[in-house]
Structures are given as C-alpha cells and as structure tokens.
Chains A and B, each alone.
Chain A
Amino acid sequence: MKTLIIGGGVVGLSLAYGLTKLNEDVVVVCGRDDDYNASRGNFGLIWSQGKGLGFPEYSKWTQKSISLWPDFAEGLEKLTGINLNLNLDGGFEYFTNQKEMDDYVKVLKEIQNSSTSIEGFKSLNREQLKLYVPEIGPKVVGATFMPGDGHVNPLQLLIALREGARLGGAKIFNAARVDRVYRSENVYTAQLDNNKELSASRVIIAAGLGSLDLAPMLGFKSTVVPQQGQLLITEKLPQFLKYPSATIRQVNEGGIQIGGSTKDRGFDNKECLKTVSDLASHAVDVFPCLDEVNLLRSWACLRVMIEDGLPIYQKSKTNPDAFFITCHSGITLAAIHTDLLTEWVVGSKKSPDLSMFSEERFNV
C-alpha cells in the first residue's frame, strides 16, 4: 500500500524510514525552510528523566524507545554512512536550589514507583556529584542522574533518516506546502502549493505545528500548541562534558549547547536578550568555566506541545488508513517510531496497543 506522509521532520521521516524497511511504498512531503521546523532547532536529547508523571504507559514507551536506540542508530549509520554521535551514558539534571531538587526527586520517585520498567535514577549531593562532574560550580547543590539517557546530533539524525528513507525507496518532495488534503473513494490526495498533487491510499499527517491546519481536514479533533524554546551555542571547546543535562550539553563538534527555556509566545520564534542572558547565567552557575567562553549563536524554535505532554497516535475512525501522528519528543521516540509505531500503522501482528495515546483522552 502506498503511504503519503505529510511532514519531513524527525517524526515523519522516522515513519518513512520504518515503512521502507517493511518494503512499503512511501512518499514524503517536506515543508519549506521558513516553516517552524522543530526538527531543525531542537536540543538533541534522548531523555526519559522526568517523563510520564501520572502516565506510566508513557514512561514505558519512552524507556522502550531508548532501549531500541543503539540498534536503531547502528542500522541507520551502517545504511547511510552518517555518524549520529549517539551517547547514552546517562543524563544529569543540575540544581542550584535544594527545595527544587527535593521536589524533583519526589516526582522521579513517583514516576519510578508507577512504572516498573524504568531504570532507577540516582540522586546525588554536591560531593557525590563532583566525583562524576568535577567542573560544577559552588552554587550547584546536587543533581539527579538517569542512567541510559543521553543525546545525539539531531541534525545528523534528521539527515540520516532522510537518506535512510530515500535509500529504502521513499520519494521525498522538498519545499512544498500542502494546502489541502482530502479523500475521494479510497484515495487520499494532497494538493501542494506548487499546483502538484500527490495521492496514496494511506496518509499520515506528521506535520508538527503544520498539523493545526491539516489534521482537521481529515476529521482529527486534537490539537497541538507552540511553545518557544531558546538555544545558545558557544565556541568550540576541547571535549570535557561527558554527560548531557536537560539544559547544557557539549555537542560532538565541541560547542556547548545551552537551552531549556519555555515560553508561551504563540508563533513568535525570535530570541530575546533577556532569555539568552538567563540561559547563559544558569550555565555559568553550573559550570563557572564557561564564564570566559564566547557565544557563537542563539536561536529560538517552537516545540510541538500537546496538552498533556504525551504523543498523539490517532488512526481515523471515519477515514480508513488516515493517521495523525505528532509528539514533542521526536528524537527520543525516533527509535520506537521506526519500529513499533510503524508496525501499528501497517496493522501487523507486532502492532502494540496504543489506545492510551489516542485523541479520545481529550474527550474530543
């Protein structure tokens, strides 16, 4: 069956790559460079720490994806020759405020107790932490550590997924916006803004924030909202940070990437000096050695947020073989998206039960 995927970000291309591995016929429509493109601006974490409070199924799904990541990365690297710079040695969350840390430890305990599959986190005081990360500054009171978490070069991942899908036979259309998608009999057609039309008998809307316009056209009810995050990158430094944190990591090229701001600013994707300065001071609090380091660039990008933070995996009830798939954590979930989520899309015997991620949870 031919599948049309609307969205050429990490989510859409993970599905495209997964489908080509099942020998499915795949067409992908990528948006334009001036679209919001969350896949091009993100932080590159593969992260389970703190995810799934009140939703043990989400914790398990995340943890399962992380366990699939090494094989997924190896297969994709072998196929494409692109190094993803995967590192899953564990991830820290640093604290400069004891009360905040205590509260966070409570959250992690609750997540851990509700989800037996989760690997145990560690809570480290300042002295214990210094054994692992001697560079921390005097303001750091401690950190939580999740073994198995890590990071990847997100741009290399995007390129590799695209190349992997292409080598698997997927046709990829660039710089095209879908104006309209509709069903006629059993054929879905996407009308592009360059007057082309693409048709297939299965359609997946995986367009991130672009889904806001597209998903309702096929009767999907749930919605996504933009959440702005700002990011900084420093000049290249010798590799010294072994572990990433949710806000500071050293990328494989040597720069320190700093992020983690969250602002609800609608579709505003411009950075502001105040946030840049707050992010930089936090980074210097954690690692005083960054004080003298130059910033190279800063940028803002829009996260694809869903009300409860969980992914939306929805198969249409009224339009056969139409899917709406979106999530915030496309990097973490890339491994499972090419695997179990793809099996779910084709309805194979390995298809998992994903009903808890359907849009029915929003009472729509």
Chain B
Amino acid sequence: MFERININKSQKDKLSFTFDGKVVSAYHGDTVAAALLGAGYKCFLENPVLDMNRNPYCMMGSCYDCLVSIGGRNVQSCMVECEQGMVVELAIQSKLTGRKGI
C-alpha cells in the first residue's frame, strides 16, 4: 500500500473529490492517479479486451492503464491534478462493458 512521504502538507492543502460516487480526500498537487492510489484503490481500469483489471504502471502519461473519465472524456489520471469537488468516474469503456473495474 502507498504511504505519503511528504508530511509537511497542512490542512489547508486538503481537498476532496468524488470517484465513482465516493468521496476521496487528497492534497493540492496530487494527481488523480496518486490520490486514488493513496486512498487505497488498487485498480481502477478494466481492460476492455482482456478480462483483467489494470492499475497505473508508468505514472507519466505513457501506459494509459490509469484511465478515468473526467468531464465525459477518458483521460490519464496520472496527468491530471486534483481539484476540489472534481467529479471523476470510471473510464467510459468500463461502463460500456457494464462491469466495475475495482
């Protein structure tokens, strides 16, 4: 499980957003992928072809195994910074298959 190494963040750096309808807390400067991993989500993408779940692999925008849906589009969650009140959903393809990817 992931643990935060930067312990100097204060309460005022805290924010929250929702992922798949559940509240997730994070700090300003976190990427969505980092926040989700930090909150204990292990996998949040279902590969639409293979019958398996995926989790962030590269954390630098290249592997596309951390996709989520924000504002109706699939995006790499490792490339998006968290914002207060942001609504993050499962990647659209996960919804198409009717299964949850967590």
Among A26-34, A129-137, A208-216, A231-239, the stretch that binds chain B is: A231-239
In chain A, what residue has the closest Cβ to B74? A294
Distance A235 CA – B97 CA, assembled complex (angstroms) = 15
Q: Encode B64-102 as 1/0 by CB contact (under 8 A) with A.
A: 100100001111000000000000000011001100000
Distance A239 CA – B48 CA, assembled complex (angstroms) = 8
Instruction: Please name all residues of chain B whose beta carbon is closer than 8 Å to the beta carbon of A237 when the two chains form the complex.
Output: 48, 93
Instruction: Please name all residues of chain B whose beta carbon is closer than 8 Å to the beta carbon of A292 when the two chains form the complex.
Output: 72-73, 92
Instruction: Please name all residues of chain A whose beta carbon is closer than 8 Å to the beta carbon of B67 when the two chains form the complex.
Output: 235
With an 8 A cutoff between CB atoms, is A50 at the interface?
no
Distance A238 CA – B94 CA, assembled complex (angstroms) = 9
* Beta-carbon contact of B49 and A294 below 8 Å: no
Instruction: Please name all residues of chain B whose beta carbon is closer than 8 Å to the beta carbon of A260 when the two chains form the complex.
Output: none
With an 8 A cutoff between CB atoms, is A296 at the interface?
yes
User: Using a CB-CB cutoff of 8 Å, which residues 229-266 of chain A contact chain B?
Assistant: 235-239, 252-254
List the count of A-B residue pairs having beta carbons below 8 Å apart: 31
With an 8 A cutoff between CB atoms, is B47 at the interface?
yes
Partner of A238, one of B64, B75, B96: B96
Q: Encode A115-134 as 1/0 by CB contact (under 8 A) with B.
A: 00000000000000000000
* Beta-carbon contact of B74 and A235 below 8 Å: yes
Distance A253 CA – B63 CA, assembled complex (angstroms) = 13
Partner of B93, one of A238, A252, A253: A238
* Beta-carbon contact of A254 and B47 below 8 Å: yes
* Beta-carbon contact of B97 and A238 below 8 Å: yes
In chain A, what residue has the closest Cβ to B92? A292
Instruction: Please name all residues of chain B whose beta carbon is closer than 8 Å to the beta carbon of A294 when the two chains form the complex.
Output: 73-75
User: Using a CB-CB cutoff of 8 Å, which residues 24-55 of chain B contact chain A?
Assistant: 47-49
A contact residues, total (Cβ < 8 Å)? 12
Majority secondary structure of chain A interface residues (helix, strand, loop or mixed): loop
Distance A296 CA – B65 CA, assembled complex (angstroms) = 11
* Beta-carbon contact of B48 and A236 below 8 Å: yes
Instruction: Please name all residues of chain B whose beta carbon is closer than 8 Å to the beta carbon of A252 when the two chains form the complex.
Output: 49
Instruction: Please name all residues of chain A whose beta carbon is closer than 8 Å to the beta carbon of B64 when the two chains form the complex.
Output: 235-236, 296
* Beta-carbon contact of B73 and A254 below 8 Å: no
Distance A206 CA – B96 CA, assembled complex (angstroms) = 46
Instruction: Please name all residues of chain B whose beta carbon is closer than 8 Å to the beta carbon of A236 when the two chains form the complex.
Output: 47-49, 64, 93
Distance A293 CA – B74 CA, assembled complex (angstroms) = 8
Instruction: Please name all residues of chain A whose beta carbon is closer than 8 Å to the beta carbon of B93 when the two chains form the complex.
Output: 235-238
Instruction: Please name all residues of chain B whose beta carbon is closer than 8 Å to the beta carbon of A253 when the two chains form the complex.
Output: 49
Distance A236 CA – B47 CA, assembled complex (angstroms) = 8
User: Using a CB-CB cutoff of 8 Å, which residues 291-326 of chain A contact chain B?
Assistant: 292-294, 296
User: Using a CB-CB cutoff of 8 Å, which residues 129-160 of chain A contact chain B?
Assistant: none
In chain B, what residue has the closest Cβ to A238? B48
Instruction: Please name all residues of chain B whose beta carbon is closer than 8 Å to the beta carbon of A296 when the two chains form the complex.
Output: 64
Partner of A254, one of B49, B72, B74: B49
In chain A, what residue has the closest Cβ to B63? A296
Distance A36 CA – B47 CA, assembled complex (angstroms) = 32
Among A236, A238, A293, max chain B CB count under 10 A is at A236
Distance A292 CA – B93 CA, assembled complex (angstroms) = 11
The minimal Cβ–Cβ distance linking A193 to chain B, given in whole angstroms, is 31
In chain B, what residue has the closest Cβ to A292? B73
Distance A252 CA – B47 CA, assembled complex (angstroms) = 12
The minimal Cβ–Cβ distance linking B17 to chain A, given in whole angstroms, is 21
For the complex of A and B, list the 4 residue pairs with the smallest distance between their C-beta atoms, beginning with the closest.
A254-B49, A238-B48, A236-B48, A254-B48
Binding site for B on A (CB under 8 A): 235-239, 252-254, 292-294, 296
14 further interface pairs, Cβ-Cβ under 8 Å (given A238-B93, A292-B72): A235-B74, A235-B93, A236-B48, A236-B64, A237-B48, A239-B49, A253-B49, A254-B47, A254-B48, A254-B49, A292-B92, A293-B74, A294-B73, A294-B74
23 A-B residue contacts at CB 8 Å? Answer: A235-B67, A235-B74, A235-B93, A236-B47, A236-B48, A236-B49, A236-B64, A236-B93, A238-B49, A238-B93, A238-B96, A238-B97, A239-B48, A239-B49, A252-B49, A253-B49, A254-B47, A254-B48, A254-B49, A292-B72, A293-B74, A294-B73, A294-B75
